[in-house]
Amino acid sequence: TSAQAGLAWMLQNPDITAPVIGARTPAQLEENLGALDIDLAEDHLARLDEASAIDLGYPHQMLASDHIRNVTGGS
């Protein structure tokens, strides 16, 4: 299911230390636990990462620019 795929994706992401499930019923818990049996391939992970990427926009893009890093970092 999409819930299982989402949880499996988070479980394989080293930046996420503790994914939280929101099951309200035993059936939902069983479905969520099904994510433990899913092993996503690298291309699947890459597609999910790309589809979920957020454009942070201003001011993040400006602050992350090489020029601002050089000016504020003193290098």
Write out the DSSP string of 10-63: HHT-TT-S-------SHHHHHHHHGGGG----HHHHHHHHHHH-----TTHHHH
Residue 29 is assigned to a structural domain of this protein: yes
> What confidence score (pLDDT) does residue 69 get?
84
Interval 47-66 mean pLDDT = 90
Residue 71 is assigned to a structural domain of this protein: no
For the chain, what is the domain count? 1
Asked whether the predicted pLDDT for residue 31 surpasses 90, the reply is yes
Read off the pLDDT band of 34 (50, 70, 90): very high
Rounded-to-integer distance, Cα 72 and Cα 66, Å: 10
**Angle at the Cα of 9 (from 7 to 12), degrees rounded to 5?**
110
Asked whether the predicted pLDDT for residue 74 surpasses 70, the reply is no
Residue 8 is assigned to a structural domain of this protein: yes
Residue 69 is assigned to a structural domain of this protein: no
> What confidence score (pLDDT) does residue 30 get?
95
Residue 13 is assigned to a structural domain of this protein: yes
Residue 50 is assigned to a structural domain of this protein: yes
Expressed as residue numbers, the domain containing 17 is 2-64
